[in-house]
Chains A and B, each alone.
Chain A
């Protein structure tokens, strides 16, 4: 059952020589073959490369043991991971969930992927995504819809639905995703896993296929908070190849989580009490995030979670983020506008689908008209309209001004509290097809996550219960810029006091 391990538990066993990286990767691949016909998390599997990487990790671990240098070994050495298909892995087909990149093979890897590879991690394959990361259910993938492991008739959320489902199904030990308006946090909530969006600029965007450049961040999906901390610590940091990457030191996130750091003393890692704890921390519950229209069980679970934080010694107060109801229209003007610019590169000249036309221009129109799916075309047009002459001031500029107000709401609130606690999603996982015909209704799935991207700050979703149908509910915590250590600390204390993350979905073995 090696595929059910967390990164930190597997790292202990690898260091102790009780398992090998090859065995761990074989177990993950075995799990994928058993369940992925039903879950459909993966677009591309790379089993041969994965086993080679695992063998290399075994050699690295053996050398470290020989040299008495196990303490210097990255906890990611030999750990099998999945990568969302909007993040480039050199030599591996990267589709962005689109037909326009059906056969695109990147000639380079994203910085985040390079850092994982340098740490000795193993890449199992690329996970399904809404096309170009535009969506909240993975139904906009041009290939297929990923299923929620907790109920295969329901969506896993999106756009990092493949990554979230893979983690929930133990079809990888953890995964990378991307979050522009909630695309890591919302699927994490719907799939009952941990999903973290770093502060804008914390993790390099080099190699993340651009959707909305002022909002995008690579995020992590993991089985528990400790794993999220380990992954973040590996991929975070300044990158000269991304001019929006910030040169701020990477904190020791394990120190924040546990109250003691990642330095080696040979001790086993694993759950230990409350960690650094939340006593004395101030937690704000924004009144605008507890509204009619949200599923009552979601509200109840999140309020109970805030109650747990109070029992653990946090000071809870009600706060206000007054411009919350403007986040959706602001986001759905800024993100499409930026996307319309970023997706202009798909013209069939340097890569991707190339449909010939009577003229060069017809070639562009046909390539893009045929290669992009409906949601992508919708957003490109929305964005082009918002930026066009005569409408720029009323739409795009206006949205940017209101964005300033939304960001200021967070800055003001975070003077009064250290962390904001609220729901991640207004509902648990909805049925496949339920929102497919109403784009606006789909957009409302993101009301609680959009503001954080507009403000550029960090946030995490952690499991906090289930509804009557057994579907996961997520607690969202948000903190100020570069305050990931505080975020992880609060999430860890909550997780250790409640244990929701230990519950797993049952998925029937699909092998014949």
Chain B
């Protein structure tokens, strides 16, 4: 068994291989980005001394100081709006929005300013701002703490939107997002924060916007991202026991979407099921279904099917297991696809 990076005192040292949680991998990724580029700043509510409510920024203020890890006033529009100003001055701010449902006070700044400034300036201004958002449900939280608002941002030209599903991607993708000269919405699957996975900090990462086939299969393609990748992999295991072979794709990037990987898979399997926690109606799965239907029409053996949340506000937590797509709902839809 490989070493536990969390317990290793030589944090931040190059080329470490081991297991770590997604939360710690993000922390290591942020640390690496801050060490590599002095213009990288972290800003948000409670990100300093506390290290964030999920401890993603743990220890960073102690090591990089209060000027680079900024505990901001409790005002999300203010966080993003001042991040834009800092970026105009040449900084690369990484904002933390404490929970998905709290991004909406900043929605105006993100959509009307952050997304449009490069365009407005005809390319003379770049805003390399990253907005990290812990998203999704499954943690038994109160209202506004379990939402999946990614489609709002994927629908907005000028923004890039990505979501990591495992520690290695978390480590690399957060650094790639920070290195991007475009604004990036970075969605973190909060219910996977403390799940462990392999991380090799000397590896060569995939490009930020590349999808990845995480399980090869022959009968049905399942496209997932963020917290649902694990569910899709569980479905692939369960299906295998029944003699069905699922190909699982981790989209990783939600804008742009890597359609080349999706189409190659669908041309092979002839069937596609998408899954996300966000409501199905006008969700990412809908766009994927439309494009795959158009581009792979003659290869499809069944309509593209979508699994996701219902068209209701995120329900009270005692009901969230009924709301969230799970192994059974995904398997049921895979069976529907195979029955066509």
Q: Do A and B bind each other?
A: no
User: Which of A's residues lie within 8 Å of B, judged by CB?
Assistant: none
